[in-house]
Structure 1
Amino acid sequence: MARLLSELISFLEALPEPRIVMDADYRIVAANAAYMREFGAAGGLVGRRCYEVSHHFSVPCDQAGESCPLKQSLESGTPQRVLHLHHTPRGEEHVAVDTTPIRNEAGEITYFVETMSVVRHSSSRPAAQGLVGRAPAFIRMLEKVMRVAHSGAAVLLLGETGTGKELVAHAIHEASSREKGPFVPVDCAGMTETLFESELFGYEKGAFTGAAHRKLGLVEAAAGGTLFLDEIGELPLSQQVKLLRLLETGTYRRVGGLDCLSADFRLVCATHQDLRAMVAEGRFRRDLYFRINSFPIHTPALHERKEDIPLLASSLLERVDRRPGRRLSPAALNWLQGRRFDGNIRELRNLIERASLLADGDTVDLVHVQEMAEDLPLDLSASAGDAAGEFRVSGVQPLAELELAYLRWARRQQPDDTGELARALGVSPRTLYRKLRAAGA
């Protein structure tokens, strides 16, 4: 066993990736030089348990609500991969962890080798660019991004409007083998058939009136890189046929051209629409749907990652504020976290930018975000549109705000008959009308 460990350590020292060796009791028995350079640990590593070093936990990850690749690898006997938030010398970072079991001559698992790589395309702290988050829903999405990035599979990003799908597509591109190539976004919404063809495929000189010179298309511009088709659900059927041919043959012709040209790009698509329902209704081609849906990724809405709102708000302030270095007050962050943003990150960004223009000092405070909030609703757990749904509130909220939120919920239960709703609430129709106007319902 000692010989196996010695040989294993000698082998790992020659590898460029950060790696550690652990026993089945989670205890670190060795770390290569690459690991020490990247992650290092005060007080040394050998003899300490992995979860103490990486998470500052007192129990293994699976007992603290996270997946544990070592336990999974021990139970399955196969390599396992997870994405964790690790403590590093630079603070908490997203780290991809690959765990491989090592067997002795008798075939018994005696050690585990963990290979670590910091995810450079996202941050768990406020950041001036890129993806930001640490909520479980965000981590699940990021783990899928890192799994698919190195493949050539077509990716379909699914989620509500404003959830940052283009940023996710960019992260896939940057984490792929095509990162040095171009990232070419295409907005499919509102494209006419002629415009779609000429923009995507380019055209030859004289192909139509006004074509005074040859123009390269976006497919050609994306050669060696990634083509991102945003809002692909908006693409009319007549254009879907042309896109399908491009994807299936890997070739295209410029408008007015005769030569068949080869396409070389990685495809990422995005939509906020239910493509499966559109296929059933005949509004989206079934064959195209399966062609672009090799690997679907759900981009979570803000209400699915509420705990990320303060982190996102601080990051967005850093991105939009014309006076760098300012901060949102704790009261403002707490108030933002209690709201529901139907426009998701895009709506939050707009609110932060407006509030930053109102603030004169070094702090963007509660009064600034409230003044520009346009009566954002509380993020309540009541089920809208369900007449039997209960009105539930998470945490203590100001009474005036609760009344407004309750009125909006009540109006959704009885949208057509104000008189009946007034009788159910025990108020006069005039009083209810005045209160509904105040609630924006």
Structure 2
Amino acid sequence: MASPPPKRLPAAPSRLLPELVSYLEGLPEPHILFDSRYRILAANAAYRGEFGPQGSVVGRTCYEVSHHFTVPCDQAGESCPLARARQSGQRERVLHLHHTPQGEAYVNIELVPLHDADGAQAYFIEKMEALRVAQGEPAAQGLIGRSPAFQAMLGLVARVGPSEASVLLLGESGTGKELVARAVHDASPRAARPLVVVDCASLPETLFESELFGHEKGAFTGAQSAKPGLVEAASGGTLFLDEVGDIPLPMQVKLLRLLESGTFRRVGGTDLRRADVRLVSATHRDLLALIDEGRFREDLYYRLSTFPIELPPLRERPQDLPLLAAALLSRVAPQRRLALEPAALARLARHGFPGNVRELRNVLERAALLTDGTRIGAAAIEQALGIGRRPARTLAPPARAAADAAVLAAALRRHQGSREALARELGISVRTLYRRLKALGIAPGQ
């Protein structure tokens, strides 16, 4: 339920306050009423359940109760909704990290200014909704972080989650795109329905359509009965297409039709079926470059990227490394209560982590296996990093590379059909063909 819209208070607001306080008391979300000096004048039952009895919060400042700050949020590095409302004169929304009896938690804040008869902002109503998909401290699951880059990303998740907009998650491998997709789903009205994950990179082109849209009995050899696809499995919920840049071109057309019309057909079927799904997709690839290469449809790109969210790499979240390390250690060795020595944490901080959080987890799991006690030292981290270090790549001999280039060039010169047909002729997949062309410096159009 949304907070009440801005109202004008009479010259003697005290007569209205009991009615307003009574109204707030019945709202299910935590609400407080406070004045222009940040003093809490009333707190409803939901707020008191989160932060303590009425007597322990009324009369104190909102920033003291929620943040344990001694100054307003905007003077302590946070975005203050009251300061923003004073400038805009209207309701404001921000994402904050609050202290609660259960620990730190991310909270969506919506603040509404109330004006007196002279138009001055006399009082403010603040509604709080916990964003339960992320924590600002080590946790057993979910997103973890408190760095500015992480909070900016999470703020976008909180904005788009309640909508039906298609979301495109962009970022390097290992940044947690599936976790963010789940956060978008959990923040939506579809949270009680399924989140169905489709790993586009692992589906063979020949099975892609059947897996996504399903098939009818007899549609192909081995189809002994009708089978619904993943789109139908996600009905009422969210369909998450991971590594969407790997979707074959022929399938991109059918996916576009699904997005534009909400309809699809099973393989071998004629009946037009309707899909009630919200689409979230993700990729580590540069889709715009793929468009330029003719490997990704531009119209599909704009359908998928209604609301793009960039996931920051771990190297841009240095403040989150201790939180992530503590949480990951509790996951990889839950019975041992392991901790990192300061020197070990410092060694991790010097590593670039090209594999991001996924690589960090692997390093910590190795270090745990290399440690007998409960304290992981810098030596164990150094050894764990060494075990996972990539070997130097061996380049193909020049003669072999030249021969491969000659074979491909000859095939391209004589071939008049599609890239798919050329890949079949060479006995490789279309994706392998494009990779070889790119590796040998042959542009797709040549």
TM over 0.5: yes
CA contact (8 A) 1:132 1:311 kept: yes
Q: Distance in 1 between matches of 2:104 and 2:140?
A: 17
Encode CA deviations 1:97-141: one digit per residue, 9 max, x unaligned.
111111234443211101112221111111111111111111111
Query: CA contact under 8 A between 1:340 and 1:376: conserved in structure 2?
Result: no
Q: Is the 8 A contact 2:51 2:57 kept in 1?
A: no
Higher mean Cα deviation, 178-187 or 55-64?
55-64
Aligned partner letter, 1:215: K
Distance 1:43 1:106, change over 3 A: closer
Q: Could you tell me which amino acid in structure 1 is paired with residue 65 of structure 2?
A: V
Number of residue-to-residue matches in the alignment:
377
Matches of 2:335 and 2:17, distance apart in 1: 55
> Please, which of 207, 219, 231 is the counterpart of residue 207 of structure 1?
219
Partner of 1:223: 235
Letter of the 1:64 partner, please give it: A
Q: Deviations over 1:392-411 (max 9, x none)?
A: xxxxxxxxxxxxxxxxxxxx
Q: Tell me the amino acid that sits aligned with residue 306 of structure 2.
A: S
The aligned counterpart of 1:374 is 386
Q: 1:137 aligns with which of 149, 153, 161?
A: 149
Q: Which runs of 5+ in 1 are unaligned?
A: 378-441
1:46 partner letter:
V
Q: How does 1:31-430 map to 2 (within 5 A)?
A: 31-40=43-52, 44-321=56-333, 323-374=335-386
Q: What amino acid sits opposite 2:257 in the alignment?
A: R
CA separation in 2, counterparts of 1:97 and 1:352?
A: 36
CA shift digits 1:162-200 (9 cap, x unpaired):
100000001111121111111111111153432110100
2-side partners of 1:62 and 1:174: how far apart?
29
Equivalent AA in structure 2 for residue 100 of structure 1: V
For 1:232 and 1:41, locate their aligned partners in 2 and report how far apart those are by CA, in whole Å: 50
Q: Which amino acid aligns with 1:136?
A: P
Q: How many Å separate the matches in 1 of 2:372 and 2:236?
A: 47
- CA offset digits 1:177-234 (Å, max 9, x no partner): 1111111111111534321101001111111111112111000111111100011112
Please say if residues 341 and 376 of structure 1, whose CA atoms lie closer than 8 Å, have aligned partners that are also in contact. Answer: no
Q: Which 4+ residue blocks in structure 1 deviate beyond 4 angstroms?
A: none
Bigger mean CA offset, 201-210 vs 271-280: 271-280
Work out whether residues 41 and 53 of structure 1, in 8 Å CA contact, stay in contact via their aligned partners in 2.
no
The SS at the match of 2:219 is coil
Structure-2 separation of matches of 1:45 and 1:38: 11
Structure 1 264/324 Cα, relative in aligned 2: closer, same or farther at 3 Å? Answer: farther
Over 3 Å counting, the alpha-carbon distance change for 1:376 and 1:64 in structure 2 is farther
CA RMSD of aligned residues (A): 1.8
How big is each residue's C-alpha offset from its partner over 1:6-35, in whole Å with a ceiling of 9 and x where there is no partner?
A: 221111011111111111121211111210
CA contact (8 A) 2:166 2:306 kept: yes
Per the TM alignment, residue 57 of structure 1 is displaced from its structure 2 partner at its CA by: 1.9
Distance 1:331 1:356, change over 3 A: same
Q: What's the TM-score once normalised by structure 2's chain length? A: 0.81
Match of 1:405 in 2: none
Supply the distance in 2 between the matched residues of 1:4 and 1:23 (Cα, whole angstroms): 14
Quote the Cα distance in structure 2 between the aligned partners of 1:171 and 1:306. 22
**What secondary structure, in the 3-state scheme, does the structure 2 residue paired with 1:374 have?**
helix
Q: Given residue 58 of structure 2, which amino acid in structure 1 is its aligned partner?
A: V
Deviations 1:228-264 (A, max 9, x none): 0011112222221111011111111111111111111
Q: TM-score, normalised by structure 1?
A: 0.82
Cα gap change, 1:125 to 1:322, in 2 (>3 Å): closer
- Give the Å deviation of 1:276: 2.3
The alpha-carbon deviation at position 332 of structure 1 amounts to 1.8
Q: Using the alignment, how far apart are the partners of 1:208 and 1:140 within structure 2?
A: 48
Q: Which moved more, 1:21-30 or 1:164-173?
A: 21-30
Structure 2 Cα separation of the partners of residues 337 and 124 of structure 1: 19
AA at the equivalent of 1:301: P
Cα deviation code 1:312-367 (max 9, x no counterpart): 11111111126342222333223212321001001101111111111122222222
1:438 matched to which residue of 2? none
Secondary structure of the structure 1 residue equivalent to 2:16: helix
SS in 2 for 1:372: helix
Distance 1:75 1:355, change over 3 A: same
2:25: which partner in 1?
13
Contact map agreement 1:4 1:104 (CA 8 A) in 2? no
The one-letter amino acid paired with 2:244 is I
**Cα distance between partner residues in 2 of 1:323 and 1:356:** 12
User: Which residue is 1:420 aligned to?
Assistant: none
Unaligned residue ranges in structure 2 (runs of 5+): 1-12, 390-446
Q: Sequence identity, in percent?
A: 59
Q: For 1:11, what is the secondary structure of its paired residue?
A: helix
